[in-house]
Amino acid sequence: MDSENLQDMFQLNGKKAVVTGAGSGIGKATALALAKQGAELVAVDVNLEAASATVAEITAGGGRGLATGCDVTDKKSVEQAFAAFGSLAILVNCAGISHIGNLANTAEEDFDRVYRVNVKGMYLCMQAALPLLQQNGGGTIINVASIANHVGLVDRFAYSMSKGAVYAMTLSVARDYLKEGIRCNCISPARVHTPFVDGFLAKNNTGKEAEMFEKLSQSQPIGRMAKPDEIAALILYLCSNEASFLTGCDYPIDGGFIHLNS
């Protein structure tokens, strides 16, 4: 392949993309990456100020984007947001929360809260996006799952439940809408260094943040956490025409966590 063709790879010019959870972390990095490659980006977040800050970075770099405040757990909020988007080529579901606890000590209200955001929220966004993708003549959905789909993680009962559901929903949507030109895949990151991680360590490991950060980093065989930009690069590929033969799959991006830990 010559250099001219290489420069044309992973371009999203003329495609409208919605990224949920775009105000921070993986969602923000993904929104920036897709916009850099030419997508008209809609940054969706429950925190409109954070989504607007992401869009400000996009426009400052010469890209196109708009911010929308949306509670993905609320059907009316999701329907109102997506009704304004018109046709759609790409949906990336990054919005999600975590929870620490095992079966015995996970409270019902915490279980329900994780389900509402990580499972119901993704269902509502995919359902609202579906007619827009159909109107577009097809498109792609990327759902952010987790290594918890594949391995048992200590004290992650509700979180693992939710991410297992994400994987199952991905396969179902990929199968049902294959003939309509809609591809649906998910990715399964291991630990990613986001503001959430820093906030968690500050809250739960005061004075020992650096020590715990190193311990968490070393749990990946590669010896560090992923960077949000690295996760965004995989999502960009899966959204691009270069990935047009890929659907109904989960892609671990885990620094060797699943297969190299023993």
Mean pLDDT (whole number) for 226-253: 97
Chain segment 73-112, per-residue pLDDT in tens: 999 999 999 999 988 999 999 999 999 999 999 999 999 9
- Amino acid identity for residue 32 in this structure: L
pLDDT at 225 over 80: yes
- Does 2 have pLDDT greater than 60? no
Pair 134, 179: CB distance under 8 Å = no
Catalytic residues: 159
Q: Which helix (H) or strand (E) holds 216?
A: helix 209-218
Q: How many other C-beta atoms are found inside a 10 Å radius of the C-beta of residue 145?
A: 29
What confidence tens digit (pLDDT) does each residue in 154-209 have? 999 999 999 999 999 999 999 999 999 999 999 999 999 988 888 878 887 788 88
**What DSSP letter does each residue of 148-211 carry, written as one string?**
GGTSPPTTBHHHHHHHHHHHHHHHHHHHHTGGGTEEEEEEEE--B--HHHHHHHHHHSTT-HHH
